[in-house]
Every structure is written in C-alpha cells, then in structure tokens.
C-alpha cells in the first residue's frame, strides 16, 4: 500500500500525462499552435534572478525543454500536496476535489506568468481560457480519482466522521484569530491538544510572543500585502484542519471556514487598526486586537463535548 508521498507522485504523474494528452488533442482538433508560455515563464524567471539559460546555442529549444520540465514538476508537486491534504483529513467530494486540484495546478502555472509579465489572463480570449481550463480539469479529475482509489494505511485504519456545526464554527473563529495573529493558527491547536511535547508548546508560545512584539514595530509590513495575507490564510486553513484531525472529522468544511475566517480577520483587523488609530493610541489599538485574537483562539481550540479518546472501561447505562 502506498504512502502519502508515493501516492501523490503517482497521482501527479497520472494527472500530468492526461493533461498533456488533452492539450495535444486540442492542438490536433483545432489546429492551433502549441503554447510556448511555460518556456517563456522560465526565461523570465531566470532573467528576474539575474541568470541566463544554460548552454550555448539552441536557446529556444533549451527554454522549451526547461518549461516542459517545470510543468512536470508542477504537476507532481500539486499531486503530492493534494495527497498530503487528504492524509491530513481533508476529503472533498469528488467534483470539488477535482476542481480544486485542477485550479491549484492552473494557478501554479498562470500566476507566475502574470506576476512576471509574460501573460495577462485578463486579456485572454474565450478560446484561450478553454485551452487552459479543460486540460487542467482533466488533470484534477485524474488526481482525485487516483487519490480516492488508493487510500493510505492510516486512512484505512482511521475513517473520518462528518464535521459537526460546532467544529466548523470553531474553525472559523480560529481562522479569524489567525488573520489577526497568524501564529495562533498553528499555536492554538498545539497548545490545547493533549500529549504535545514541551518543545512543541514552547515553540508555539515563542512564535506567538514574537509576532505580538513584531506587530507593534513600525517596519512590519501591512498584513494585507499578498505575501502576508497568504501566510495568514494558510495559517487559518492549517489550524482548522488540525482541529478537525484531533476530533477525527472530515476537515473539508472546517478548512473552508478557517480560510474564510482568516480572510475576515486579516482585512477586518486591518480596518480596525486604521479606524481605532483615530481615537486610540496605535499601541493600545494593537493590544486590544491582541486580546481579541487570543480570546478567539482560546474559544476555538477548547475540546469539543465528545471525548477525544473513548473510555477504556464502558460506563454503565443509567
């Protein structure tokens, strides 16, 4: 039986093969030219890093080869991440899982192209979108099929229950806290889950304390810049899946709630700081936000009503 990494590589390889086949079939049926976008992205990335493509002569061929290799690596990487998410307890319905994997692979290819100025999706025609979306949906469907067909040993031993409304709500609260202080997304579950080691708890406390201090520094970048916002959304999602995992529940809905909560905490917290700064000292406004974030994280991470481990001796019925 395959482990999560091997399964992810297999799913990514199968998905990449199907994506390539569908792309070439589209070229055959419509007679359109093959895309050189991956190669141009590699070339632009090398130029942005101050590097040149290796080798002398035949530059275009080497560029296209590197682009194809980068596409293969992307396909394998998304497969591994999708497998890891499934192993962590995020089990999306098949159509949503296929769409999510396809969208992730599509974003991994198109976002760098847009950021590097190689291509602007806003200027694409309908035919361009079809040529990009359809192969990636085929990729996502293939990845989802492989992941569902090959459960890991741990997944077989530990079936998941449906996430309750209370768990989903608490995942959303933890997401809001992570949007305010990103370290709380991971630190909250670590500090409140029984059996975590001293080093893990100490590291979680240090991360929270460090962020609380750094948040008050004038050179700290705004939380709504893309890098910071992405980190907060990720923290909210990771924390939500950890809450679901400790209750052995499907983490799909808690993940959505955690990411949505993190978005609310990120932009809502930023709006609070701007508004409160008009009538409060900035440090006082930040301390108020610290307190709210800590209270939300504490409320979100409290154990649920059901015990995490069933009692060893059955209790007599009344």
Is it the case that residue 57 has pLDDT exceeding 70? no
Is it the case that residue 311 has pLDDT exceeding 80? no
Per-residue model confidence (pLDDT) at position 313: 40
Reported as a single tens digit per residue, the pLDDT across 85-121 is: 999 899 999 999 999 999 999 999 999 999 999 999 9
- Residues forming beta bridges with residue 87, ordered by sequence position: none
Reported as a single tens digit per residue, the pLDDT across 127-151 is: 899 999 999 999 999 999 999 999 9
pLDDT average, residue stretch 210-217: 92
Is it the case that residue 11 has pLDDT exceeding 80? yes
Dmax over Cα atoms in the chain, in whole Å?
85
Per-residue model confidence (pLDDT) at position 56: 60
- Which of the two residues, 248 and 158, has the higher pLDDT score? 248
In the chain, the percentage of residues whose pLDDT exceeds 70 is 93
pLDDT average, residue stretch 61-84: 92
Say which residue the tokens 């893309």 belong to.
Answer: 226
3-state secondary structure the chain: CCCHHHHHHHHHHHHHHHHHHHHHHHHHHHCCCCCCHHHHHHHHHHHHCCCCCCCCCCHHHHHHHHHHHHHHHHHHHHHHHHHHHHHCCCCCCHHHHHHHHHHHHHHHHHHHHHHCCCCCHHHCCHHHHHHHHHHHHHHHHHHHHHHHHCCCHHHHHCCCECCCHHHHHHHHHHHHHHHHCCHHHHHHHHHHCCCCCHHHHHHHHHHHHHHHHHHCCCCCCCCCCHHHHHHHHHHHHHHHHHHHHHCCECCHHHHHHHHHHHHHHHHHHHHHHHHHCCCCCHHHHHHHHHHHHHHHHHHHCCCCCCCCCCCCCCCCCC
- Residues forming beta bridges with residue 249, ordered by sequence position: 161
Reported as a single tens digit per residue, the pLDDT across 146-198 is: 999 999 988 888 888 999 999 999 999 999 999 999 999 999 999 998 888 89
Is it the case that residue 31 has pLDDT exceeding 60? yes
Per-residue model confidence (pLDDT) at position 55: 64
Provide the pLDDT confidence category of residue 252 given band limits of 50, 70 and 90: very high
């Amino acid at each position: 039986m395959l482990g999560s990494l091997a399964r992810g590589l297999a799913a990514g390889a199968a998905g990449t093969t199907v994506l390539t086949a569908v792309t070439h079939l589209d070229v055959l049926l419509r007679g359109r030219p093959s895309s050189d976008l991956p190669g141009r992205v590699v070339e632009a990335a090398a130029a942005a890093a101050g590097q040149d493509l290796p080798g002398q002569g035949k530059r275009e061929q080497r560029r296209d080869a590197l682009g194809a290799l980068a596409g293969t690596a992307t396909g394998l990487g998304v497969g591994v991440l999708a497998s890891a998410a499934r192993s962590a307890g995020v089990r999306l319905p098949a159509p949503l899982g296929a769409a999510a994997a396809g969208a992730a692979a599509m974003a991994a290819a198109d976002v760098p192209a847009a950021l590097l100025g190689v291509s602007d999706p806003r200027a694409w025609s309908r035919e361009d979108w079809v040529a990009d979306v359809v192969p990636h949906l085929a990729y996502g469907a293939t990845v989802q099929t492989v992941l569902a067909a090959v459960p890991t040993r741990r997944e077989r031993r530990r079936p998941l229950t449906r996430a309750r409304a209370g768990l989903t709500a608490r995942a959303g609260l933890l997401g809001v806290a992570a949007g305010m202080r990103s370290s709380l997304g991971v630190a909250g579950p670590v500090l409140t889950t029984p059996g975590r080691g001293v080093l893990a708890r100490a590291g979680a406390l240090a991360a929270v304390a460090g962020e609380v201090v750094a948040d008050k520094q004038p050179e700290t970048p705004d939380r709504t810049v893309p890098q910071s916002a992405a980190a907060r959304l990720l923290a909210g999602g990771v924390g939500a899946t950890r809450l679901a995992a400790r209750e052995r529940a499907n983490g799909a809905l808690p993940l959505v709630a955690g990411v949505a909560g993190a978005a609310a905490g990120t932009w809502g917290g930023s709006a609070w700081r701007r508004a409160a700064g008009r009538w409060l000292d900035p440090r006082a406004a930040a301390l108020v936000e610290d307190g709210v974030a800590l209270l939300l994280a504490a409320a979100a991470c409290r154990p649920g009503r059901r015990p995490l481990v069933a009692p060893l001796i059955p209790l007599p019925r009344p």
